[in-house]
Amino acid sequence: MMSRTFPQLIARNCATAWLLLASTLFTSHLATAQQYAQVQPSNWWTGMKWNKVQLLVKAERDAFSQEKVTVTYPGVTITKVTPLENPKYLTVDIAIAPTALPGNVNLVFTSGNGQSHTIVWPLKPRRKGNGTAYAQGVTSADFIYFLMPDRFSNGNEGNDRIPSMRDGSLNRDSIYHRHGGDFQGIINHLDYFQSLGATTLWLTPVLENDQPNRTEHGYSFTNHYKIDPRYGGADLYKRLSDSLHSRGMKLIQDAVYNHVGSYHFTYLDQPTKDWFHQWPSYTGTSFKDQPLFDPHGAKSESKITADGWFTREMPDLNQGNPIVANYLIQHALWCVEEFGVDGWRIDTYIYNDLAFMNRCNKALLDEYPHITMFGETWVNGVINQSYFVENNLNIPFKSNLQGATDFQTLFNGIQPAMNEKFGWNDGVTKLYTTLAQDLVYKNPMQNVIFLDNHDMTRFLSYVKGDVEKLKMGLQWLFTCRGIPQLYYGTEILMKGESNPDGWVRLDFAGGWNGDRKNAFTGVGLTDEETEVQNLVKKLGNFRKQSTALKTGKLMQFVPKDGLYVYFRYDDKQTVMCIMNTGEKDWVLQLSDYPERTAGYSSAVDIVDGSKYERGRIPVQPKRMLVLELKK
């Protein structure tokens, strides 16, 4: 290599120094400009059907709403600027033409004295796949594993506490404090989910929750456009999404449209007087769903149901305000495109403005035709639940929500089947009669069935620690119609009563350094814990390959003395499910059910491989068999 002369070295070093200085000054100027005002959505994309974007802009100056806003960018125009009641806010309506190319759009804000500030607003190219490699939707062919990031696994202890955030708790001995679980802990164990046969992960909300306490659950957003840094932030959330997709798996995001946290910036400094539902004094929802559809009901009571606050710490958003509605819809679209979300679980669905929800769901479906949504419909009654989803009812309001969290097959189905003595209207009869009412749903296969979740007593505790009942419940979960959802830890016999709820949100064994028990490796698990974990693996992986269980039809027979038999079947496969909730032994013959067993001569137990020849099948009390029929 030729040596450089001293003057050349000086020139090169000076040039480098000037470049570094210029870069620093530009970065500093950009940071200052971005601090001038907060813009949400923080960016958008070219080629979107939703190409008229309403920006909510906030600055810490009372005269800000009077500033003029201009933009000079090919294909991007401002159609309207609206000052809001709070002079710190304004909205900027932007139209993005199909010809617009990705780049940085400069939004220029000019005050009355002629002083201008520029905010860079990125216009990005769309995610690769444009709806095929993400926004896939979650269907009955999937198996959802549901977890709380803070309580599953701590993959990076460096983000356990963020000094700038209000909740600095970190105490695994407290059921209310943060424990440190994060995205890296989830990414570290993707092999585990696949070993169970899971195809989809559903996480409790991952957006920033900068509340002073009880932030472990994530349902009190404080910034819609920021992923909570204690989980690892936006980049790691994208890595989790991409890692799932690279394995052929899917991601469900937990959406909350009904409320925000009390420290959300739009509540601390409200853009308009009607941004939230206001009452003369605090008014909580009645938690009664009937006033929303009762033909004899009073409008005043339906208003309390829908507009009453969920809790004092969760201000209730007024989705009848068109700016609020746009804000929420655009955020939903933004999350799908930014993070590659495949489906939505919608929190507190019944307390939202239902006309708004139809509009929001439609916007997602217009942009992502394959995406699916299911709502939390914690009600009591099949008719009640069906009101909130696509149904066959002849009623004025028609929902476009595809599915529900199926509390009916839980409360009025598998729970009484396991804990009640059999009777004409009791015990497993309730499971049969609940499923018999599926005629009200447009597509009951889109309902998400489950044994427990983050808000209720864990199933093993509900059945008083009876592991055999848990095993029956799991066999039902993986063979009934719908989309099965397993709550983290159920497969390793985690217990907990829901009062208070922290006891059903304990840490997953092995997720933290130093855990004596490790469910990922099997170290320290009891024989029973290992047995049930292996049962889930058998059921989950069999279902993954079973056309009958994923998309087949359901045929059930009237229970007799605690014996309940149902079939899942299609043209390729027939699976026979025998649930004996009674006190006596049964010996069944395939010929007892000729409608579904004609042409079959034997059966194989999918759990232990036992073969039943000549159609004779013994079933012990408090046991369930899942059999693949053979010719």
**Which residues have a catalytic role annotated?**
347, 376
| β-pairing verdict for 343-346 and 372-375 | parallel
Query: What does the alpha-carbon distance between residue 494 and residue 504 come to, in Å, rounded to a whole number?
Result: 8
Residue-wise over 63-98: b if at least 16 C-beta within 10 A, else e?
ebbebebeeebebbeeeebeebebebbbbbebebee
Burial of 505 (0-12, 13-18, 19+ CB in 10 A): buried
Backbone φ and ψ for 424, nearest 5 degrees, come out as -55, -40
Secondary structure (DSSP) of 271-337: SSTTSB---SS--B-----GGGT-TT--HHHHHHHHHSBSBTTBPBB-TTSHHHHHHHHHHHHHHHH
Backbone φ and ψ for 263, nearest 5 degrees, come out as -105, 15
124 strand-pairing partners: 45
Find the helix or strand (DSSP H, E) in which 610 lies: none
Helices 233-246 and 322-339, axial angle in degrees (round to 10): 60
The dihedral sign for the CA sequence 60, 64, 65, 69? negative
Tell me how crowded residue 390 is: count the other CB atoms within 10 A of its CB.
Answer: 16
Q: In 468-523, where do the E strands start and end?
A: 483-487
Backbone φ and ψ for 225, nearest 5 degrees, come out as -115, 30
Amino acid at 556: Q
**Residue 403, helix vs strand vs coil:** strand
Q: In this structure, are residues 457 and 504 in contact, taking their beta carbons and an 8 Å threshold?
A: yes
Query: What does the alpha-carbon distance between residue 440 and residue 470 come to, in Å, rounded to a whole number?
Result: 29
